[in-house]
Amino acid sequence: MHVPLSQPLAGKNDTHISEFLLLGISQEPEVQPLIYVIFLSMYLTTVLGNLLIILAASSDPRLHTPMYFFLSNLSLVDICFTSTTIPKMLVNIQTGSQAISYMGCLMQMSCFILFAGLDDFLLTVMAYDRFVAICHPLHYTVIMNPRLCGLLVLGCWVLGLLNSSMEISVSLRLSFCPEVEIPHFFCELDQLIKLACSDTFLNNLVMYCAVSLLGMGPLLGIIYSYSKIISSIRGMASAQGKYKAFSTCASHLAVVSLFYVTSIGVYLSSMVSETAYPSAVASVLYTVVTPMLNPFIYSLRNKDIKRALKTFFVQGTAKWSIVLH
């Protein structure tokens, strides 16, 4: 196994680490090819599925609405989210190396925190969009105007960048012990803090405050929006109106449930288990499986997206036929 270099800093007792070792999900050599094939398949499915959502929403003028604008942004973030961790894991398996540089680890962790936060914020914005559409349908186009939609997405990026920058800035002050093995398939913030030899009180404080404010805040916003939505649906007279209103929220509610259930599952597994490997396996659910399933959830019963994709491919096939002829 390759051992990373450690060099003492002059006049200090802490240690400068040049790289870390990502131990991955399993260290058994015989299962590495299987892990490689599974993760490569899931990654390609995630990228292709989310690209199709973006393609459908951008190519069909009938889908140029706030709901599909936010959905396109969510799909873009999901592609970036999985691209932060999976390609490096696949490269390490292919080359037989477990190493990731110190700066590479911090960059991966920074991007992971950014895109995970963006996922959370965008799901909250989408819940607000559904709240306005169902509870204030007559004023929907006035409230959810293009300027507000752009500002909401911009606000998500600003909050995500601030959170990521804050977490990385306090991580830069850490010094690490010679034991630099991360029992995970990517540089996860909690695992990195556990490797530090210096005082980690500030890091833990910032991490838990961020989880409490930026994690629970959006969740409470989603819960509030859906409590109003449910109350409004119950007040509708016709069963057809109730079904139509609920069907517009079903996909988003399924994605929200999947995101939070898997995230909470990862947190509980890390709290209950003494080893980090169950947490690493559970992390696959919200880092890979959730972004992969989102396009299927949104397009499975969505006639608008199916129609847009069908129109796009039919027109594309016709154009290619003309070019070939």
CB atoms < 10 A from the CB of 220, how many? 11
pLDDT at 247: 81
| Token duo for residue 104 | 């590479």
Task: Determine phi and psi for 10, rounding to 5 degrees.
Answer: -60, 130
Q: Are 51 and 216 in contact (CB under 8 A)?
A: no
Ordered structural domains, the chain, with CATH? 16-305 (1.20.1070.10)
Indicate the helix (H) or strand (E) that contains 16: strand 15-17
| Token duo for residue 149 | 């939609």
pLDDT in tens, the chain (325 residues): 444 444 443 334 344 678 899 988 888 888 899 999 999 999 999 999 999 999 999 988 888 999 999 999 999 999 999 999 999 999 999 998 889 999 999 999 999 999 999 999 999 999 999 999 999 999 999 999 999 999 999 999 999 999 999 999 999 988 887 778 888 899 988 888 888 888 889 998 998 898 888 888 999 999 999 999 999 988 887 888 788 878 888 888 889 988 888 887 777 666 665 555 666 777 888 888 889 998 888 887 678 888 888 887 776 666 666 666 5
Q: How far apart (Å, rounded) are the C-alpha atoms in residues 187 and 183?
A: 9
Prediction pTM value: 0.88
pLDDT at 4: 45
pLDDT at 8: 40
Q: Which residues pair with 191 in a beta bridge?
A: none
| Token duo for residue 98 | 């477990």
Closest residue by Cα to residue 76 from 295, 306, 312:
295
pLDDT at 220: 93
Assign 3-class secondary structure to the chain: CCCCCEEECCCCCCEEECEEEECCCCCCHHHHHHHHHHHHHHHHHHHHHHHHHHHHHHHCHHHCCHHHHHHHHHHHHHHHHHHHHHHHHHHHHHHCCCEEEHHHHHHHHHHHHHHHHHHHHHHHHHHHHHHHHHHCHHHHHHHCCHHHHHHHHHHHHHHHHHHHHHHHHHHCCCCECCCCEECCCCCCHHHHHHCECCCCHHHHHHHHHHHHHHHHHHHHHHHHHHHHHHHHHHCCCCHHHHHHHHHHHHHHHHHHHHHHHHHHHHHHHHHHCCCCHHHHHHHHHHHHHHHHHHHHHHHHCCHHHHHHHHHHHHHHHHHHHHHHC
CA-CA distances (angstroms) from residue 29 to 34, 94, 95, 96? 10, 12, 12, 9
User: Could you tell me which residues come within 8 angstroms of residue 71 by beta carbon, excluding any fewer than 6 positions away?
Assistant: 53, 57, 126, 298
The type of residue at 49 is G
Residue in the structure block whose two tokens are 């509980």 = 268
